[in-house]
Amino acid sequence: MNALNFILALLPILWLILAMSILKMPGYRACLIALVITAALALFYWHQVPLNTATAALEGVLNALWPIIIVIIAALFTYNLTLKTGAMETIKAMLGSVSTDKRVLMLIIAWGFGNFMEGMAGFGTAVAIPAGILVGLGFDPILSIVSCLVINSTPTAFGSVGVPATTMANITGLNILQICSSTAIMQMLLTFAAPFLGVIIIGKGTKALKGMIPFILIAAISFIIPQFIAASFIGSELPNIIGSIISMAAMIAAAKLLPPKTPPEFVVEKSADAPKLTVGGSVRAWSPFILIFIFLLFSSPLFPFINAPLSSIKTSASFYAGENPATLTFYWINTPGVLILLAGFIGGLIQGASFGTMFGVLGKTIKTNVKTIVTICSVLAVAKIMGYSGMTSDIATVLVAVTGSMFPLISPVIGVIGGFVTGSGTSTTVLFGSLQVQTAEAIGSNPVWLAAANLVGAGIGKMVCPQSIAIGTAAVGISGSESKVLSKVAIFCLIFAVLAGIFCFTLPLLGIGG
């Protein structure tokens, strides 16, 4: 019976793998069908009463809308507004004016600015925007996408202003700071390796490392240390943002003060079409992102005299009609989505946009992301039904029986599968977060550590996700070349997945994490 329960409980997940990787079905459609499959199984096999199934799905949808989707819409609105006002062209020009060495530019744009965009917006922007800038500067399109995909594999947990990690805390009840700290520790060596690999990829071999090791070390360390500190003491919203800002500043200073010797094959010619840079224009261009950073920082627990009154404006409610319902808490002001929207509107005014223009951009952002909204709502509804009906615990039971104490070795791989299927750290968290925690409890492992493993794996899986690759190829104008990108990035995904499993299993044995 356990084996049958395991197979049937896996059906929604197996369907998503089949639908999205083989049938090439759009994510929103595949997830809606997965919701129907899950509800049918819960009703007719696990004998969950209809009211409980419906209210479990309702809880999932409401949890998706607030705070997850509001963050996504707010972040994408801010980015789209910078495109509308032309501020993004100024940002591109600033980034491209630092050096004529393509290896340095790749690190500043894909590593520094890419991690910044992952922290601010996520959902493909950290691949699409840096890759587009690199190609605009004359870089190889395929290699630009591959380098961005590899680099974007590690900041996912803290992407979109920390939504994946925050969601993990919400659905599991675990401490958010412990989740963030454990995630940063587990993926630290992978994060350290990413900029080295980016240089090797863009330079077509290890020869590109010649003369670049000191610069890459500055890029890596100046990001990793602030990211870890922010994750451990502030939370999920700012690790990528703080780390990338400090790293970009360090790289720009290093490029000016200690520029590496550039072989002729790595020289990039500056564009004659770039806008003229001024201090005022640069500040205006960056103003929405500066305000987002300020608002998120000062509303964080680091400033309790601001955090406490804002956090008190909330509503808590339970929606599931069955036993042991979760309590959802809706923070109406002190939630990243609201703060980002506010920063976006103020930044838009600074850039000269009218309210009509800004509301037009907001409306278009919502309209063009309806399918994303449906996808996330469906996935969260699936996860809630699976959790309340007992499907998730049945999967965990079999995994414990088969792997026992060795389960941490495959824990990140489960996240990789989720990242590959959904292309989202948040959706992967919703699919497998509870499974990881229940399995950890069953084998006597640390639930926080395996929750972190799921977040780490999700980012790795996004490297080879069809959705991520398609976003990259579309951004640089080479749609149809997805198989070429996949063939080059797959080996890095495999290496990272194996290493993540080894780190997850061995680091606690060494007294690190776990």
Q: What type of residue sits at position 308?
A: A
Instruction: Please list, in sequence order, all residues whose beta carbon lies within 8 angstroms of the beta carbon of residue 324, skipping any fewer than 6 positions away.
Output: none
Q: Taking the alpha carbons of 243, 246, 251, 252 in that order, is the dihedral positive or negative? A: positive
Nearest to 146 by CA among 494, 468, 504: 468
Query: Which whole number is the average pLDDT over 380-405?
Result: 87
Higher pLDDT, 125 or 58: 58
Instruction: Please list, in sequence order, all residues whose beta carbon lies within 8 angstroms of the beta carbon of residue 95, skipping any fewer than 6 positions away.
Output: 105, 108, 109, 113, 133
- Tell me the range of 366-370, 403-407, 490-494 where mean pLDDT is highest: 490-494
Residue 1 is predicted with a pLDDT of 58
Residue 116 · residue 82 · CB < 8 Å: no
Residue 428 is predicted with a pLDDT of 87
Residue 185 · residue 154 · CB < 8 Å: no
Residue 506 is predicted with a pLDDT of 96
Q: How far is CA 16 from CA 42, 44, 339, 418, in A?
A: 17, 21, 34, 9
Query: Which whole number is the average pLDDT over 63-89?
Result: 85
Q: What type of residue sits at position 272?
A: A
Higher pLDDT, 254 or 375: 254
Q: What is the CA radius of gyration of the chain?
A: 22
225-245: pLDDT as tens digits:
999 999 999 989 899 999 999
Residue 76 is predicted with a pLDDT of 80
Residue 437 is predicted with a pLDDT of 93
427-483: pLDDT as tens digits:
889 888 988 999 999 899 999 999 999 999 999 999 988 778 877 887 777 877 888
490-510: pLDDT as tens digits:
999 999 999 999 999 999 999
Higher pLDDT, 352 or 272: 352
Residue 417 · residue 464 · CB < 8 Å: no
Residue 318: strand pairing partners: 327
Residue 426 is predicted with a pLDDT of 84
Q: In the predicted model, is pLDDT for residue 193 greater than 90? A: yes
In degrees to the nearest 10, what's the CA dihedral of 37, 374, 467, 413?
-50
Residue 69 is predicted with a pLDDT of 83
Q: In the predicted model, is pLDDT for residue 418 greater than 70? A: yes
Query: Which whole number is the average pLDDT over 332-359?
Result: 93
Confidence tier at 217 by pLDDT (50, 70, 90): very high
370-386: pLDDT as tens digits:
887 888 888 889 888 98
Residue 17 is predicted with a pLDDT of 79
Residue 271 is predicted with a pLDDT of 61
Nearest to 396 by CA among 426, 428, 437: 437
What's the CA gap between 175 and 166, in Å, rounded? Answer: 10
Among all chains, which residue has been given the structure tokens 């492992």? 445
Nearest to 364 by CA among 76, 157, 3: 76
Q: In the predicted model, is pLDDT for residue 189 greater than 80? A: yes
Instruction: Please list, in sequence order, all residues whose beta carbon lies within 8 angstroms of the beta carbon of residue 129, skipping any fewer than 6 positions away.
Output: 79, 88, 113, 114, 117, 475
Residue 327: strand pairing partners: 318
Q: In the predicted model, is pLDDT for residue 139 greater than 70? A: yes
Q: What type of residue sits at position 198?
A: G
Query: Which whole number is the average pLDDT over 144-173?
Result: 92
Q: Are strands 314-318 and 327-331 parallel, antiparallel or unpaired?
A: antiparallel
Q: In the predicted model, is pLDDT for residue 204 greater than 80? A: yes
Neighbours of 262 (CB within 10 A): 17
Phi, psi of 318 (to 5 degrees): -110, 140
Higher pLDDT, 313 or 473: 313
Higher pLDDT, 287 or 269: 287
Q: In the predicted model, is pLDDT for residue 264 greater than 80? A: yes
In degrees to the nearest 10, what's the CA dihedral of 369, 373, 376, 377?
-170
Query: Which whole number is the average pLDDT over 68-96?
Result: 85
Confidence tier at 137 by pLDDT (50, 70, 90): confident
Q: Where are the domains of the chain?
A: 2-268+278-510
